[in-house]
């Protein structure tokens, strides 16, 4: 194979190209150099690298609260809770005191002097507010201080009010010469004693137990001053099967 040698005059051309064509660094004939624009340069998009944990050996500091600060915060929370509980208990105690003093009182029957209406160990609710607005009436079951020893309290029934005249003949009670309606006293609970007649002083009341032949009452220790009457027996709440309102 014989390769043709290039004539020195052909060194400016490549292959079969026309020597009249412009070189790569020359503008084409007839075109202004102002129309030649450089090719656009595209910059690569920024690459965001994920934040990784510091390599081993580097120191990573975290701010932690001191144990004493944490303890103080807990103590403050506990203190606030204790104060809230104390306020609640104090308020409950005040309300209970007001209710017991001026409103209602829970009492327990001891003995059989009010049988069969009330039995031993019955639990009662006594309305102490009733006689702050009104006065005891005949037939009311009341809680009172024992006139001979005010440290004790009794439960009795009001038989006569101030100004009334009371007498008892063979156990039958008369108030102002009218026989008292006492159907709540069974025959076996009636007495056969005599009493009076006597007139009730102003500000006093005559009381008796429903168990007429087994009751210590005004027949034995006299009248009861109004200031000794604590309140009206309103409810028997125990035992529950025998609960009732009076």
20 noted as active-site residue: no
In whole angstroms, what is the distance from residue 141 CA to residue 209 CA? 9
Q: Distance of CA 90 to CAs 87, 94, 103, Å?
A: 5, 6, 19
CA dist 29 and 220 (Å) reads: 151
The residue written with tokens 């029957």 in the block is 109
Q: Please spell the DSSP secondary structure of the chain, one letter per residue.
A: --PPPPPGGGTT--TT--TTSPPTTSPPTTS-GGG--PPP-PPPPP-PPPP-PPPTT---------HHHHHHHHHHHHHHHHHHHHHHHHHHHHHHHHIIIIIEEEEE--SSTTTTTS-TT-EEEEESSHHHHS---TT-EEEEEETTEEEEEEEEEEEE-TT-EEEEETTEEEETTEE---TTS-GGG-----EEEEEPPTTEEEEE-SSGGG--SHHHH--EEGGGEEEEEEEEEESGGG-EE-
Q: Which two tokens stand for residue 1?
A: 């194979």
The reply to whether 156 belongs to the active site is yes
Catalytic residue among 20, 128, 156, 218: 156
Active centre residues (catalytic): 113, 156
């Amino acid at each position: 194979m014989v390769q043709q040698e290039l004539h020195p005059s052909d060194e400016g051309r490549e292959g079969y190209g026309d020597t009249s064509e412009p070189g790569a660094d020359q503008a084409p004939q007839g075109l202004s150099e102002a129309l030649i624009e450089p090719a656009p340069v595209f910059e690569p998009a920024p690459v965001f690298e994920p934040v990784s944990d510091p390599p081993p050996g580097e120191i990573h500091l975290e701010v932690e609260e001191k144990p004493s600060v944490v303890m103080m915060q807990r103590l403050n929370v506990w203190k606030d809770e204790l104060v809230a509980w104390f306020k609640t208990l104090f308020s409950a105690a005040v309300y209970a005191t007001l209710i017991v003093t001026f409103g209602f009182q829970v009492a327990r029957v001891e003995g059989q002097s009010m049988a069969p209406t009330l039995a031993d160990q019955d639990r009662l609710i006594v309305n102490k507010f009733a006689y702050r607005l009104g006065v005891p009436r005949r037939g009311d079951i009341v809680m009172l201080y024992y006139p001979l020893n005010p440290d004790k309290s009794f439960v009795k029934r009001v038989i006569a009010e101030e100004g009334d005249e009371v007498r008892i003949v063979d156990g039958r009670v008369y108030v102002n010469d009218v026989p008292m309606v006492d159907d709540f006293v069974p025959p076996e609970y009636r007495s056969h004693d005599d009493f009076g007649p006597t007139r009730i002083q102003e500000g006093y009341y005559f009381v008796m137990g429903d168990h007429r032949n087994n009751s210590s009452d005004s027949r034995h220790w006299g009248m009861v001053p109004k200031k000794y009457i604590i309140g009206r027996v309103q409810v028997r709440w125990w035992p529950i099967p025998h609960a009732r309102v009076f």
